[in-house]
Amino acid sequence: MESPKESLLEKFRAALSRIASLGRSGAMDAEMDEELRSHLAHAIDENLARGMSRKEARNAALRSFGGITQTREAYRTQRGVPVFDQFVRDVRFGCRQLMRAPGFALTAVLTLALGLGATTAIFSIIDALLLRPLPVPHSDELTVLNYRSINDRQNGYSFNVPVFRTIEKGHDLFSNVAAFSQHTLQVRGNSGNVRVQGQVVSGQFFQMLQTPPLLGRWLTPQDDQKGGASSQFGIVISEGFWRSWFNHAPDVIGRKMIIANAPFVVVGVMPHNFFGADPVERPQIYVPLWSEPIVDAPYDNIAAGEHSWWLRVMGRRKPGISAEQADSALKASTKSIYEEAVSDHKWLEDQKDQRLGAEPGTTGFTYLQRFLAKPLKAIFGLCAVMLLLACLNLASLLLARSAARERELATRLAMGASRRRLIQQLLVESLLIAVLGSAAGLMAVPIISGMLTSILLGVNATQTIDTSMDVRIFAFVALTAIVATLLIGFIPAWRATSKNLNEQIKGGSHTVSAHQRTRLLPRILMGLEVALALMLVVGAGLLSASVARLYRTGLGFEPKGVVALSLDMGKQPLDGAALTQWYQAYSEALERQPGVEGVGYASMTPMDGSVWTSTIQSSLSGGDKEMHMDTIGPEFFRTMRVPVLAGREFRWSDTPTSGKKIILNDAAAKVLFPNRNPIGQMVYRDKGDPIEVIAVVGDMHYESIQHAAPPTAYIPMGQDKGHKSSYTAVVRLKGGAAAFAAAARSLASQMSPDIPPPIMISFQDQINNSITSERMMVILAIYFAGCALLVTAIGLYGTLAYATARRTGEIGIRMALGAQRLSVVALVFRENASVAITGSAAGLIAALMASKLLASFLYGTSVRDPWVMSASVLTLMAVACAASLLPALRASRIEPIQALRTE
């Protein structure tokens, strides 16, 4: 009845007045009633005046008025926003329905909360690490620099100082390039030294990030030079440190601080929300890169030059340059950058396959991104599957429940309710469940993500993953809730309203045929759920088996407690046997130092980036085989804790005159002597003289744990043909490194005044906990497999409980006819067993097909590991049995008389 001439303004007015009336429907109802009463009173007055009796007058008035109820309804519809009114009514109805079945409501809400909470928790970690841009101006221009060798699986992100300085000096891609590295600083307080989280940053760091300082100034390239700007280094502190250490003193700029026993001066304070370029670190103090030898003493990563890979490098691209352009430009100029940075030909040769690159750095850089990106995405996928599982679960619960309401719905359909209207009402019910479940899940998110973060990072970690809520997370939750509503509600609603009344009313709950058809869909859903859960359990099992294997093999050596002392022999007079004797004397002197548990030498140490290969053949190898080579001293394997599987270590007596000796690692032994004991056999290096194999040792990973340990052959330093070779002493230390470093230096200069002081670096720094990624993956996978099992158990229990309750009458009859309680239990058990078996079979097939996706995460584990597969199936069967227990017991306690009476 809308008038065509109605203007936009009038439509707007009408809408406004409708919305305004929403809040005061009670008052308006009262006013309408009064108006209708007044109408009837006037009509009756008039009829009485015409001479009717009181009763006639009243009846005539009512007749000419028409339906009072219809008028009120039409009036209300006109008054309110009709959809909204209907919605409110549906919500009320839905609430009543849920309250009538509190057990069902609780199961439903908990299931959804579990699925949604777990998924959102993972999403909040993904958000914090991979999506949230750094809170600095124009973060989209930031770029992370990387490098990669042709046969590397992953990019490297740790740069050494010479390469970084060369990129910093000359580049036309970036307006700024900066390097940073995390360091715990020793800060002198009123009562001794305090450990404070700090960051070593290069000169352009703050210019690159652009966040203006709260007080004072940034560190600049002038601060980042040897010795600092004016005899001491400047530092910038965080707002938090300014508050906790200086109590917000306004005159903080220019104050002195003693860090690692050296004076520093505060030049600036950064605002509260600034935390540098690493989203999981919260540094309190920023010190210039050139002060690293002071704050990191006794180690010196600057002096270690191209051999120490320890800096993260980022740049801000110039306007108009894309990350791809920067990437290809850096790739093309890698050779010239390396040649300008490093003069050592051996090093350049080792890195000849390496190419620099660039990738977008909007979210900053943290190793956690690299460790966690793949596991997180995989787990997020698993979570989505689990959420789907939870929804399927609820859908089948709702199906079971709507089976109980079929007659009610059929009756309503027959009485003229439109199908759309009924579906809408049922959907509102599932919306209620979704909203309650989301709310409960959302409340659990901070707890779950806090728990996950502390498991992932370790309880005492200095790092933080900021999983606080933001727009993206809320949008995610809202979207999930909507999708869940449709998933949960639509199938049951559609099915429940598709019944024709005749069939229903005739059928009752006696007809078995109708029964079986009704129960087919929930069973298919449950079977699907079992299949999905099995896939999750198999996935988690495979991952755990893989990581257990990684842990067992490890790096092949124990990096903890080992330091590397690199010696430079190029400028001293000794050579040949005399130099070997010097090395022997020096190692014996080092071994006498307190806390030293072992000393060995090697020309190449793990993780230092250098590679030396050579070809070796044996009578069984079928030609030359390429091997990694290393020259080592006695006691090397004992010091590194590498197992000697057969034979003996080198001795100082293995000299050029004592017959050529070689040690193979396990991988090399397998290549050269398949199924044969190699000890005492001969090999030929570069087609030269025969060399005797004297030992087989465990495999050592040179690059990272995921890179397979290369077949490696070791030759003794006494038989090395090079001149004035420089070795790195590996020393296993117990206790402090500082005293040892001083002793090592003074010993070296006492014994040979011509060699420069040895440079010490720690192994632990070089190895960024290479198996973190896998370990985290497993923690996450086990957690979610657990959740999935729980959800499945609830689902199996819920549907079975409903189905059994519906069969009370049938079971009663069976028992009245003489069925034993045991056979009733078996009857109920059989129901879940068939679902569990078909589901498991389907899941197993799907898991086998999907296992290729997992293959890249697995280490030394077949994607079809029979143990994992069978254990997973057994677990699920156990869960299915546990879920059947309660309904089966309940069914066996049914009293036939009572059951038949309720029918």
Partner 1 sequence: MGDSKSDVLQGTLDLMVLKTLEAMGPLHGYGIARRIEQVSGDTLTLNQGTIYPALLRLEQRGWVKAEWGMSESNRRAKYYSLTRPGRKQIESETENWERIAATMARFLAPSN
In the complex, minimum distance from the CB of residue 18 to partner 1, in angstroms, rounded to a whole number: 7
Distance CA 309, CA 765 (A): 9
Among 27, 30, 33, 41, binds partner 1 (CB under 8 A): 41
Q: Could you tell me which stretch among 2-10, 166-174, 232-240, 557-565 binds partner 1 (CB under 8 A)?
A: 2-10
Residue 494 interacts with partner 1 (CB under 8 A)?
Answer: no
Distance CA 502, CA 15 (A): 43
In the complex, minimum distance from the CB of residue 57 to partner 1, in angstroms, rounded to a whole number: 14
Distance CA 618, CA 683 (A): 5
Q: Could you tell me which stretch among 35-43, 137-145, 206-214, 296-304 binds partner 1 (CB under 8 A)?
A: 35-43
- Give the single-character DSSP code of 599: E
Which CB, 16 or 461, lies closer to partner 1? Answer: 16
In the complex, minimum distance from the CB of residue 417 to partner 1, in angstroms, rounded to a whole number: 23
Among 33, 45, 140, 339, binds partner 1 (CB under 8 A): 45
Q: Residue 653 to residues 138, 569, 661, 718: CA-CA distances in angstroms? A: 64, 22, 11, 8
Q: Could you tell me which stretch among 5-13, 265-273, 302-310, 459-467 binds partner 1 (CB under 8 A)?
A: 5-13
CA 238 vs. chain centroid, Å, equals 28
Name residue 419's amino acid: R
Residue 520 interacts with partner 1 (CB under 8 A)?
Answer: no
List, in order, residues 6 or more apart from 327 with CB less than 8 Å away. Answer: 357, 358, 359
Residue 722 interacts with partner 1 (CB under 8 A)?
Answer: no
H helical segments located in 733-865: 738-751, 763-766, 772-806, 808-816, 821-855
Q: Could you tell me which stretch among 8-16, 112-120, 423-431, 712-720 binds partner 1 (CB under 8 A)?
A: 8-16
In the complex, minimum distance from the CB of residue 73 to partner 1, in angstroms, rounded to a whole number: 9
CB count, 10 Å around CB of 772?
A: 18
Which CB, 6 or 353, lies closer to partner 1? Answer: 6
Number of residues this chain uses to bind partner 1 (CB under 8 A): 33
Which CB, 39 or 243, lies closer to partner 1? Answer: 39
Q: Please give the structure tokens belonging to residue 291.
A: 């002060």
Q: Residue 402 to residues 2, 37, 94, 499, 803: CA-CA distances in angstroms? A: 40, 43, 13, 11, 11
Which CB, 34 or 140, lies closer to partner 1? Answer: 34
Which CB, 46 or 626, lies closer to partner 1? Answer: 46
In the complex, minimum distance from the CB of residue 59 to partner 1, in angstroms, rounded to a whole number: 14
Among 22, 25, 36, 706, binds partner 1 (CB under 8 A): 36
Residue 26 interacts with partner 1 (CB under 8 A)?
Answer: no
In the complex, minimum distance from the CB of residue 35 to partner 1, in angstroms, rounded to a whole number: 5
State which H helix or E strand residue 877 sits in. Answer: helix 866-892
In the complex, minimum distance from the CB of residue 42 to partner 1, in angstroms, rounded to a whole number: 4
Q: Could you tell me which stretch among 37-45, 92-100, 201-209, 271-279 binds partner 1 (CB under 8 A)?
A: 37-45
Among 24, 27, 33, 38, binds partner 1 (CB under 8 A): 38
Which CB, 70 or 273, lies closer to partner 1? Answer: 70
Which CB, 80 or 437, lies closer to partner 1? Answer: 80
Which CB, 41 or 194, lies closer to partner 1? Answer: 41
Q: Could you tell me which stretch among 30-38, 410-418, 588-596, 747-755 binds partner 1 (CB under 8 A)?
A: 30-38
Distance CA 725, CA 575 (A): 8
Distance CA 32, CA 75 (A): 8
Distance CA 721, CA 689 (A): 14
Are the C-beta atoms of residues 630 and 714 closer than 8 Å to each other? yes
State which H helix or E strand residue 120 sits in. Answer: helix 102-126
Angle at 319 between CA 315 and CA 323, to 5 degrees: 55
Are the C-beta atoms of residues 365 and 387 closer than 8 Å to each other? no
Give, as ranges, the residues between 726 and 755 that touch partner 1 (CB under 8 A): none
Q: Please give the structure tokens belonging to residue 152.
A: 């590397």
In the complex, minimum distance from the CB of residue 536 to partner 1, in angstroms, rounded to a whole number: 56
In the complex, minimum distance from the CB of residue 83 to partner 1, in angstroms, rounded to a whole number: 17
Residue 411 interacts with partner 1 (CB under 8 A)?
Answer: no
In the complex, minimum distance from the CB of residue 278 to partner 1, in angstroms, rounded to a whole number: 60
Are the C-beta atoms of residues 173 and 330 closer than 8 Å to each other? yes
The mark string for 48-77 relative to partner 1 (x by CB under 8 A, - otherwise) is ----------------xxxxx-xx--xx-x
CB count, 10 Å around CB of 813?
A: 16
| DSSP-assigned states of every residue in 676-704 | S--TT-EEEETT-SEEEEEEEE----SS-
Distance CA 285, CA 68 (A): 78
Q: Which residues of 229-264 are buried (b: 16+ CB within 10 A; e: fewer)?
A: beeebbbbbbbebbeebbeeeeebeeeebebbebeb
Which CB, 45 or 503, lies closer to partner 1? Answer: 45
Residue 482 interacts with partner 1 (CB under 8 A)?
Answer: no
Distance CA 37, CA 47 (A): 15
> 3-state SS string over 194-205?
EEEEEEEECCCH
- Give the single-character DSSP code of 867: H
Residue 27 interacts with partner 1 (CB under 8 A)?
Answer: no
Angle at 477 between CA 490 and CA 88, to 5 degrees: 55
In the complex, minimum distance from the CB of residue 65 to partner 1, in angstroms, rounded to a whole number: 5
Residue 502 interacts with partner 1 (CB under 8 A)?
Answer: no
**Residue 311, SS3?**
strand
In the complex, minimum distance from the CB of residue 489 to partner 1, in angstroms, rounded to a whole number: 33
Which CB, 27 or 461, lies closer to partner 1? Answer: 27
HSE on the CB side for 337, CA within 13 Å?
27
Which CB, 46 or 903, lies closer to partner 1? Answer: 46
> 3-state SS string over 70-97?
HHHHHHHHHHCCHHHHHHHHHHHHHHHH
Q: Could you tell me which stretch among 41-49, 132-140, 206-214, 270-278 binds partner 1 (CB under 8 A)?
A: 41-49
Give, as ranges, the residues between 750 and 769 that touch partner 1 (CB under 8 A): none
Q: Please give the structure tokens belonging to residue 743.
A: 């002793």
In the complex, minimum distance from the CB of residue 84 to partner 1, in angstroms, rounded to a whole number: 16
Phi and psi dihedrals of 25, rounded to 5? -65, -30
Which CB, 66 or 250, lies closer to partner 1? Answer: 66
Q: Could you tell me which stretch among 14-22, 167-175, 189-197, 723-731 binds partner 1 (CB under 8 A)?
A: 14-22
Among 30, 33, 42, 89, binds partner 1 (CB under 8 A): 42
Are the C-beta atoms of residues 270 and 209 closer than 8 Å to each other? no
In the complex, minimum distance from the CB of residue 66 to partner 1, in angstroms, rounded to a whole number: 3
Residue 339 interacts with partner 1 (CB under 8 A)?
Answer: no
Beta strands (DSSP E) in 103-227 are: 142-149, 174-189, 192-201, 215-216
Residue 322 interacts with partner 1 (CB under 8 A)?
Answer: no
Which CB, 13 or 272, lies closer to partner 1? Answer: 13
> Could you tell me which residues are beta bridge partners of residue 286?
199, 236
Distance CA 568, CA 257 (A): 35
Among 22, 25, 29, 32, binds partner 1 (CB under 8 A): 32
Give, as ranges, the residues between 75 and 104 that touch partner 1 (CB under 8 A): 75, 77-79
- Give the single-character DSSP code of 758: P
In the complex, minimum distance from the CB of residue 62 to partner 1, in angstroms, rounded to a whole number: 10
Residue 33 interacts with partner 1 (CB under 8 A)?
Answer: no
Residues binding partner 1 (CB under 8 A) = 1, 3-6, 10, 13-14, 17-18, 32, 34-36, 38-39, 41-43, 45-46, 64-68, 70-71, 74-75, 77-79
